[in-house]
Structures are given as structure tokens and as C-alpha cells.
Chain A
Amino acid sequence: MKSVYKVVLAVLAVAGFFFAVQPAVAHHSGAEFMDQVKEITGTIKEFQFKNPHTWIQVVVENPKGEKEEWSVEWGAPNSLARQGYRPSTFPAGAKVVMRIHPMRSGAPAGGFVAAKFPDGKTVGKWE
């Protein structure tokens, strides 16, 4: 039984590795994003779970107290679905802290790194 458990673990590890190496932006290069990580805090407006890439729209209050909509690009819905994510992963109205690779242009957008909800639940590589 123990060896079966080990085999299952090994299979899951291998499968996990190959899912993990899926490029986040297979459809285009991703050169528009910086390597550095920025944190934004806001409210989910919409999770566009569509091809060729998913987008999370987050409403953030900027330093002037104005509401600003950020566009956060994530992986293809298909590869995310194979990892267990669904349109319900980012429900509209939920508060969220999000880590992103910001755009080089300074536009309110970025590439998704991780997210944390108020209840401590995380998505992506938070730690």
C-alpha cells in the first residue's frame, strides 16, 4: 500500500512539473511585462476566463483616491482548467491582494504572479 502511495505521489509530481512549466503567455511573448513584482489591492470586477489568455479585471484605489481598473493577464483558460482553476476562482466583488509583473509602459496592467484573499486563501505562487 505504501509503495502504491509512493507511485501515485511520483506520478502526481511528474504531472505537476509538466503543468507547472506551461508558459504563462503561450500566445504572445510576454516581453511587455517587467521582471519585478508589484502588489496591488482591490476588488475583482471580472474574471475573463476566455482564450487565448485569461484576464482578471481589478478595481484599485490609486494614491489620489480615484478608482482605477487594472488588467491582469494570466494563462490560457485551458491550461489553467487542467490545473483545477475555473471562472469561479476570482469571483466578482471579492477583495484581493494581487502580485503582478507590471507593464513596462506604466499602464495599469500586468502579468499575474499570485493572489491572496482576505480569508488567507492564495492562488499562484504567493510564497
Chain B
Amino acid sequence: MIANKTQRCLALGAGLLLVAVLSYGQKPALPEFNKLPDWSGVWQMMGGTVFDRATQTGQGGSTTHGVRIHPPYNAEWEAIYQKNLALRDQDRLPDVITNCGVPVGFPRIMNLPDVYEFVIRPEEFWILTENGPNVMRVYTDGRAVLAPEERWGTYTGDSAGHWEGDTLVFQTVALKGSRDGDSILDRTGAVLSDAAQATTRMRRINDTTIESQMVIEDAKAFTKPWTVTKQFRRLPTGTRVYDYGCAENNRNPVDAATGRTLTLGPDGKPLEDREKD
């Protein structure tokens, strides 16, 4: 009787050990590909490129004088934004993407003209933008975002998430924000600090619309979290995405000294300073 009990205990222990050994290093089960939502096709952001139209004041687009948005900035960062707005009004707020080659980063990647593709695989999700072009990767294979001690700020940061039914939920950390003066949210001059991070929920709300809701937190710049929602409209089936070599014929580089966007003539020299007869 005692021997039987001992044998059963040994067998149970061996079984548990076997399970532990087999599962060591194994990733959590991925969702089945055919059970993931279909976001195929070509998509276009709805509305203009004012980053948060819900808080926009003033009529017009992001470069129109008087137009601004209202992130929950503290006094220090509101002053930074006011300075950028003043530069915008003088047409001297440089947009680094005008020089080509600099990624727009997150969250501005949700705020681009031209078209988008959203690529879903069980282990990863990609946002591909024609403009730029830009790529954003979101790991959905069970890994977490980088630990704080492993992070350094980049344009698009580090993102990881999971599927909750048809909703992709992901966290983004390790953003550089406006630290190096080469990342804005829109051409009003709204910016984030390098402490910004976000939780994004993306889902297809109907046959022709994908919605992305971002809750952005910024311990340096904000007094509270900021929720921004962007929507993308599906373009007709068969729509093509084309090559976008931004530097191919960029006749509008930014003059680093003045922040002005130049217009180059066919000879490559700025047209701005030529007085017409």
C-alpha cells in the first residue's frame, strides 16, 4: 500500500518534471491565422493631418494660422507648443520629413496622407505607409515590450500586444519624442517628450473602416492621458500602392539655418530669392 503510494507520487513528480522540461522556453500559443481579422486591402486616413481633430480649434489645416490642437500639456510643454505655433505662423516650422529619409515615428504614423496597408500575422502586425515609406512593427507573439533598462528612444519605439477578439491591443514604449528636434505629431507643431508611451486599440468597426484609438501618456509633458482616435477608410479593391522614393526628386528641402521649406528650380537652386522681373 505504502509502496503503491510512493510509486504514484514518483510518477506524478516525474510527470510534472516532464511537463516543466517540455514547456521551458516555449512561447504561448499563437492565435490561428484564419481566426484573425481580415484587414487586407489599401486604406486611407480619413480627415486632414491635424493630429487630434477632436480638440482642434481654428478652421483649416495644420498649416493654417490659428489652427491648433489641445494635448493636455503642462505649462512647460504648452509653452514649447506655443513657440512651435508661432514658428508655424511664420512658415518656419521645419517638418523633418520634408527632407526625406527621417521616419515619422509613432504616433504620427497614424496621421499620414497617401495610403496604408495593415498586415496581420499571428506573431506580428505591421503598419506599412506609402508616404515615407514608413514601417511600424507590433509583436503579437506573447513577448512583452522592452524592459525599462533595455530601452533607448527611437522614432517608432518598441511595441507589443495581443488580440482581444477582433481588437488589436498594443503598448508602445521607448519613443524619442521631440528630444532631438526631429519628430512632430503634425504641422501645427504639437510634440511629445521622450517619456511618452501609449496603449493603442485597433479594430475594424465596419466593412470599410478601421479605427485606431491611442491613449497617450507623457509623464514629462502631460497633466493627464490624452486619447486620440484616427480612422482609416478602405479604398476600392484593386487599388495599388506605389513606390515612394522621397529623395528621388525632392525640390522642397528644409533650409536648416532658417527652418524655411525651400523650392528648388530645375537647376537645383532655390527659387525663393529670385525676384521676378
Contacts and interface: CB of A to CB of B under 8 A. Distances in A.
Contacts of B275: 105-107
B240 interface: yes
B249 interface: yes
B277 A30 contact: no
Contact of B246 (A46, A52, A106, A107): A52
Contacts of A105: 271-275
A28 B244 contact: no
A78 B130 contact: yes
Contact of B114 (A30, A64, A76): A76
A31 B259 CA distance: 13
A122 interface: no
Nearest to B260: A32
A18 B248 contact: no
Interface in A27-83: 27-32, 46, 48, 50-53, 55, 57, 62, 64, 69, 71, 73, 76-79, 81-82
B142 interface: no
A24 B115 CA distance: 14
A55 B113 contact: no
Contacts of A11: 236
Contact of A109 (B44, B235, B271): B271
A44 to B, nearest CB: 13
Contacts of A27: 97-98, 131, 246, 250, 252
Given A107-B271, A107-B276, A29 B251 contact: no
B100 A30 contact: no
B261 interface: yes
Contacts of A91: none
Classify the interface of chain B: helix, strand, loop or mixed: loop
Contacts of A29: 63, 91, 95, 187, 261
Contacts of A124: none
B182 to A, nearest CB: 15
B201 to A, nearest CB: 24
Contacts of B239: 82
A10 interface: no
Interface in B79-103: 91, 95, 97-98, 100
Nearest to B264: A71
A107 B130 contact: no
A96 to B, nearest CB: 17
Contact of B261 (A26, A31, A57): A31
Contacts of B63: 29-31
B131 A62 contact: no
A53 B252 contact: yes
Nearest to B252: A28
A107 B235 contact: no
29 contacts: A15-B235, A18-B233, A22-B114, A23-B61, A26-B113, A27-B97, A27-B131, A28-B261, A29-B95, A29-B187, A32-B91, A51-B246, A51-B248, A51-B249, A52-B100, A53-B249, A53-B251, A57-B266, A62-B277, A77-B242, A78-B114, A78-B130, A103-B271, A103-B272, A105-B271, A105-B274, A107-B271, A107-B272, A109-B271
Interface of A: 11, 15, 18, 21-23, 26-32, 46, 48, 50-53, 55, 57, 62, 64, 69, 71, 73, 76-79, 81-82, 103, 105-109
Given A30-B63, A31-B63, 9 more contacts: A23-B48, A26-B112, A27-B97, A52-B248, A71-B266, A73-B263, A78-B114, A105-B275, A108-B276
